[in-house]
Amino acid sequence: MLLGMGQLMAQSPDQAMSGKIGLGLGYAFTGYREETDLPLNRYLNAFTLIVNGNIEKGSFFHSLNIGFFRGDNDAIKSFPLDNSWEEPLEPGNQYFTYYRTDYTFTRVFGEYALDYRLWGTGAFPGYLGGALRGDLYVMETLNNYLHTSVTAIVSLNLHASQKWIINDSHSLVFSMSVPVLGYAVRPNFTGYIMPLETGVISLHNYQAVFGDLKYYYRINTLLSFNSGLGFELSHVEFPRPRRDAVFRLSAGVAFSF
């Protein structure tokens, strides 16, 4: 981040600079499978708060994306380990079942990217660079605060951006990010009874792609309306598998400078 700001300040003052900072509210459709708990697919839909911004000066394109949502999973009743057992459970047989209780799921992410223009025309410029990204996943059991699972990942990503300036009032920005190297903190299973695992993650045990499409409609020189589509697909294999799929719809306002 300091390198990016240094590059921005070091450019000659006669270069035109433009930027936007926006705030939006969206809705996230989420599916995930966290095998530190149970190898079951889970689904969660929740409102999302999004902060985003970008600065373009000369050949450099800076962008920032921050998102947060929190929601509750529906409770799942007990299941017999032997799925062919269709009779009601008798006293004592509950020891041969597993449960999925109510969970609160919290998701936070933040990404700063610095790209350099490498292709395209004035109305369709393309940029390639890198990003520093942080992702936090927290699962809390509502009936036992000790059964909390925290996954924290900090990664260096390959990042690309493509702008399309349709006219003076309409523009599109598409960005994509792929992690290359990172560091993760994850549990072996749900709960804090055992220490968290920590270690380096890379392409062999962390594969993901993060995408974002933003549409801007300029109301006046200072204010724009924006709407967006975002998606995330990720798989981490450290120390146990976790898979996430997220699709976001959002809308908000952006202030230009």
Per-residue pLDDT at 1: 43
Reported as half-sphere exposure (CB side, CA atoms, 13 A), residue 150 has a value of 11
Report whether pLDDT(102) > 60: yes
Per-residue pLDDT at 188: 83
- Dihedral sign for Cα atoms in the order 22, 228, 59, 170: negative
The full set of domains in the chain, from first to last, is 2-6+23-256 (2.40.128.90)
| Mean pLDDT of the chain, nearest integer | 84
pTM over 0.85: no
pLDDT bin (cut points 50, 70, 90) of residue 151 is very high
Per-residue pLDDT at 183: 97
* pLDDT, tens digit (0-9, with 9 covering 90-100), for 75-99: 665 555 554 444 444 554 444 455 5
Report whether pLDDT(117) > 80: yes
Report whether pLDDT(185) > 50: yes
Per-residue pLDDT at 229: 95
Report whether pLDDT(9) > 70: no
Distance CA 82, CA 94 (A): 12
Distance CA 29, CA 46 (A): 7
Distance CA 55, CA 5 (A): 10
Per-residue pLDDT at 149: 83
Cβ-based neighbours of 123, under 8 Å, separated by 6 or more: 164, 165, 166
Query: With pLDDT > 70 as the criterion, what percentage of the chain qualifies?
Result: 79
Query: Does a cis peptide bond (omega within 30 degrees of 0) precede residue 39?
Result: no
Cβ-based neighbours of 2, under 8 Å, separated by 6 or more: none
Q: Residues of 84-110 as b/e, b for ≥16 C-beta within 10 angstroms?
A: eeeeeeeeeeeeeeeebeebebebbbb
Which backbone phi and psi does 189 adopt, to 5 degrees? -160, 170
Report whether pLDDT(190) > 80: no
